[in-house]
Every structure is written in structure tokens, then in C-alpha cells.
Amino acid sequence: MTEAAPPSPPSDVRHSHQVPDFMHMLVDHVPAMLAYWGADLRCRFANKAYKTWFGVDPAGLIGTHIKDLLGPELFALNEPYIRGALRGEEQLFERVVPGKDGVQRHSLATYIPDMVDGKAVGFMSHVTEVTKLKEAEAALRAQVAEREHAYECLRQSETALREAQQLGQIGSWELDLDTNAPRWSDEMYRIFGLDPSQPLPPYTERAHLYPPESWARLTRQIEHTTRTGEPYLIELAYFKPGGGIGWVEARGMAVRNPQGHIFKLAGTLMEVTERHHVEEARVQRDVALAANRNKTMLLSRVSHELRTPLNGIMGYAQLNLMQPGLDATQRQRNEIILQCGQHMVELVDDMLDLSGAELGRITVQRAALDLAPLVEASLLHFGPLADAMRVELVNRLVPHEAFHAMADPMRAQQVINHLVSNAIKYNRPEGRVTVSAHRSDTHIDIRVEDTGVGLTAQQLARLFTPFDRLGAEATSVEGTGVGLALSKVLVDLMGGELLVESQPGKGSAFTLRLARSAATNH
């Protein structure tokens, strides 16, 4: 920078008219401002660049104080550098210099002290415009900032991709077919329990990650895709890092170069063990539902077919009982036939209702209904059975008190009959069955309590399973395991609940809960 400044002239020739003409020509063609300022801060020399920058005649600038040229604000900014130069210290600094017509020039200024006998008698100023350099620098900074922003966006995208892959348990991979070099994402390593800091084993040595059948299938698919370019999507078993078998969904595709040649394979691997088990369970459930539906349809057909011969048997038994002259033995035998036939008809009716409910063929007609008469009718009907089994029936309903609920009359009676019948049959000798009714603002409860053997937690879990008698099949108590299952279905259809409380050795309590009707309950 200092070679642009004029050499210090002798003290007796430091005026512009003493500079040789060739020196004038040289310095006047320099675009930088060159000047000499005395210790009194007045101009001794200035080239023509001052006219370009400040619009002043260099000849007229001789003897002008530097403050008058720069103005108060710019002088205040430059004064520390001026004082430094007059102390004998070379100064280098940047400044924006306002020029004529509002032009703002970025400049690089150098103040070189003129030392005589170790004392600064003035200084030479060299001011070069660096506006284009600053613009290039600003453009470079903007480009760097843009690249840093792009890099940060890329880094954030990669981080988001890693987080998304970890969240979705999806790894990605690539395989260069020319070098056989694989590249795995972090999630691929995590799925297989491998260390990302260690190099991957060659493709052919990764067979230990899969059962033999899955590895053979994957190998065939990769060979097919490499040969034909067709993508693949398969589900494979793999060995989980913690032990056991897991499942992954493997996708792969061929990547072609501009010439159309396959040079790389790429794909994803998603951990789907939970989904696989859910799908297996769904398939098993569908199979079980289909089997149960078939069983229900068969049961419905068989039950229908049973009705015809049962009606004939009961009809003939009734006709026999109407014949005169039957002795006691004949009458008893016909009564047993009629009684067994009636039991079979009730069983067939229950099975038809249960199969109809499971097939969606039963509808209920909910209406406002007083449940008290249904309870009284059920207790009256099963009175003889209770007497035969030495079980006391206790009706705790207050006489003439109504309990109005929304229910289907026939189905509600059917449910109450099942509850009372079971409470009697599964009771102990000299036991008791107590029926009570309770109301709340929203519902009516009919509660049937017995003093039987009660139920365990395991039995309660299977209570409403059709045909499951909970071990009672080993006793002398008659039944099929249909009544409670049917009752539960009918109560659900009426929008109610069938609740149960039981303790082994103490008995059980079943509660029929139905929505209270708008009719007056008093």
C-alpha cells in the first residue's frame, strides 16, 4: 500500500508547484487520493482524485485544514488515526467516505508519518476506493451464509429423517453393485442390534441375521431385482437382538444410470413384529368367528329340525293322558315323557334364540314396562321347582309398587326366568333365593341373590360363554350353559346391563339393570 504514496520531498520543496511535471502527471492519474498534510493539519499537496471524491480543486485545497475538507463528523471519526500518524505510527483503517451527489465510497486509508530527526512533521495520506471489493465481500458472505443455511437445513433434514426413521422403526439402505459396498442408516443398525461404528460384513455374510427360509427368500428377491429391475415388497422373519423371532417388511428397488443400466439397489426395512402378531391374531379371530358362525348356523338348523319330532312326541303323550282307563304306571310314564319333552322344547327355544341373536336375527321392542308383575310371575312359575329342591323363595318387592323400565316384555320375562331358575338349581338344600328391586334416577335394578356355592374369579371370567357350565356338568344339576349367555345377549339388545357379584362358598347375586322409563315410578 505504501508504494502508492509519494516520497517525502525535502522541506524546501514541499509545495505543489515544486513537484516536477512528470510526478504531477503520475499521481494525478492514480484513482486513489494522495495528499500530504502538515503537522498543523493543513494540506501541502493533493492529487486530482480529490476532485472526483470531494468535488474540490486540488490546487485550491492547498493550505486547507483537513477538518474543513472532511467535515465535523468524518473528522471526528478520523481524528484518532490522524493523531496516531503525528505520533509517528502508521495507520491503516476502513471508512465510508461521502462524496458529491450522495455517493458513498468504501475506502481503505493509510496514513504514513513523515519523520524528520525522529519527529513527525506531517503525514502522507493514501485513500483507495474498495467499494467493489466490499460488494464482492458482501456477496461472498451472502453466498457463505446461504450455503451455511443450506447445510443447516440439510443437517436438520437428516436429523428429522433419522428421528422419523427411529419413530417409525424404518431403516434405509443402498448397495453399490459395482463395488458391492453397502450403506445403512442408523435405524438399520438398531433393528439388527449392530454397532454403527463397525464396518458392515459383506452381503453374503449377513445370513446370520435371518432364519434360513427368510434369507433364501430375500436373496432370491434381490437377485431378481438386480436382473430385471422389478421392485419387491416382502415380509421376513429375522433374529431380534434380544432373542426371539421378529418380523420386518423389506422393500427394494433398482436404480439406473442415465444410460439405463442398473448400478445400485436401494430400499427400506421396517420393523413390523407387532403388526405381524396383530395380523396373525386378526386372522385367527376371523377363522374362529367364521367357525363360530358356522356352528351357530348348524345349531339353528338342528334346533329347527328338533322341533318337529318333539311336537309329535309331546302331542302323543298328551293324547295318551287323555285316554280313559290308564293305570298309575302308564299315567306316570306319559307325564315323564311330556315333562322331558317340555324341557327339550325350552332348550331348543333357548338355542334358537341364542343362534338367532348371534346371527343378528333377533330384535327387541323396547317400551315402558312395569317389572314387578314379571318378577311375581317368575316366582310363581318356579315355586314347585323351589319346593322340590327345598329352596326358599323370598320376594322383597313391596306389594303394588311399580318399577317401570324400558324393556321388551317377552325378553325381560325370559331373562328374569333364567336368573330365578339358575338361583334355585345351583343353590344348596335349605338355601334361599331373594329377589328385590331398586330404582335410581336413571335405571331400575332387579336383583336375584342365592346362597349357593358361589363362583371363583376364573369361573366369573367364563360366565357368559355359551355351553360352558363352569364344571356343573359333573354334577346332577340339569342344564346346557345356554341360559346366562342368552340372557346377556338379550339384556344388551335392550340397552341394559347384566351384573354379577359372587364369592365362593357364600353365593351369587345377579342384577338386571334397565333404563328407567318416563312413566311414574312410585
Q: How far apart are CA 159 and CA 156, in angstroms?
A: 5
Question: How far is the CA of 21 from the CAs of 17, 43, 372, 460, in angstroms?
Answer: 9, 19, 134, 121
pLDDT of residue 143: 86
What's the chain's average pLDDT? 83
Q: How far apart are CA 15 and CA 273, in angstroms?
A: 95
In this predicted model, what pLDDT tens digit does every residue of 391-427 receive, in sequence order?
A: 999 999 988 889 999 999 998 998 999 899 989 988 9
* 104-116 sheet: strands from edge to edge: 43-46, 33-38, 119-129, 104-116, 91-98
The domain segmentation of the chain, as residue ranges, is 2-129, 169-271, 278-358, 367-515
Q: Residue 387 corresponds to which amino acid?
A: D
- 467 or 444, which is more confident? 444
pLDDT of residue 17: 45
CB within 8 Å of 485: residues ≥ 6 apart: 354, 464, 465, 466, 467
Round the CA-based radius of gyration of the chain to a whole number and report it: 53
Q: How far apart are CA 50 and CA 60, in angstroms?
A: 11
* Residue 220's pLDDT band (cuts 50, 70, 90): very high
CB atoms within 10 A of CB 336: 11
pLDDT of residue 82: 96
Q: How far apart are CA 407 and CA 429, in angstroms?
A: 34
CB atoms within 10 A of CB 20: 9
Torsion-angle region of 193 (φ positive above 0: left; ψ -120 to 50: alpha; else: beta):
left
pLDDT cut 90: percent of the chain above it: 41
So what's the architecture of 169-271 in CATH? Answer: 2-Layer Sandwich (3.30)
| Residue 509 phi, psi (nearest 5) | -135, 120
pLDDT cut 70: percent of the chain above it: 81
pLDDT of residue 9: 47
**Cα dihedral: 93, 98, 99, 103 (round 10):** 110
User: What CATH topology corresponds to 2-129?
Assistant: Beta-Lactamase (3.30.450)
* Residue 233's pLDDT band (cuts 50, 70, 90): very high
Q: 367-515: same fold as 278-358?
A: no
CB within 8 Å of 466: residues ≥ 6 apart: 354, 481, 482, 485, 486
CB within 8 Å of 161: residues ≥ 6 apart: 185
Mean pLDDT across 341-346: 68
488 secondary structure, DSSP code: H
Cell numbers standing for residue 471: 364344571
Indicate whether 2 pLDDT > 50.
no
Q: Model pTM?
A: 0.44
Collapsing DSSP to helix, strand or coil, 407 comes out as strand
Flag the least confident range among 95-104, 133-142, 348-357, 386-395: 348-357
Indicate whether 287 pLDDT > 60.
yes
Cell numbers standing for residue 481: 350353559
So what's the architecture of 278-358 in CATH? Answer: Orthogonal Bundle (1.10)
pLDDT of residue 12: 41
User: What CATH topology corresponds to 367-515?
Assistant: Heat Shock Protein 90 (3.30.565)
In this predicted model, what pLDDT tens digit does every residue of 113-146 receive, in sequence order?
A: 999 999 999 999 999 988 888 888 888 888 888 8
Residue ranges of E strands in 384-491: 392-395, 404-407, 432-439, 443-450
Q: How far apart are CA 267 and CA 379, in angstroms?
A: 72
With helix as H, strand as E and coil as C, how does 113-132 read? EEEECCEEEEEEEEEEECHH
Length of the chain, in residues:
522
